[in-house]
Structure 1
Amino acid sequence: MSTSTLRVPTSFRLPAELLEELKECAKATNRSLNNYVESILMDFMSKNKTMEENAITPDLQAKLDKAREEIHSGQCITMKSHDDIDNYFASL
């Protein structure tokens, strides 16, 4: 049973200089131009999905806003130095 990925032929219009640079990079890494460009695009999409997963959701934004309000109204403990942290833990 084969698990190969369906690949669909497509074409793009690229600046000649960019195409030449891509060809040189593909050759330098002993890959075909198609494989090289495909791997670049897959890496980009993978990183883009990670960025989306780490995006601030409306729920998280509401929690951040609430925390900021508590800080500004003095409803929290603020520590600006290691001494402040040490003093806080000593008081527990």
Structure 2
Amino acid sequence: MATGWAGDGAVQEQIDATVNDAVQRARQQLRQGPGRERCEACDAPIPAARRQAVPGVRLCVSCQEAHDHERRAVGPYNRRGSKDSQLR
């Protein structure tokens, strides 16, 4: 059942788009390849245990925490709202 100008599957399409965007972001964050021995941001040594635990590690713990904090600014909301939802 559609309301307004939205098609029958508009809500599900919005949900699917949100999920697909989240999956894409998660896939982009996956690390690959050998880890670095020194942090690429501050050149501090990265311990062997961290390199073994996190494949493809590129940042030390403190730089990784700062990087993660910056990435949290991206909200989990779908900003592609339909024209119908913007008119309400």
TM value normalised by structure 1: 0.34
TM value normalised by structure 2: 0.35
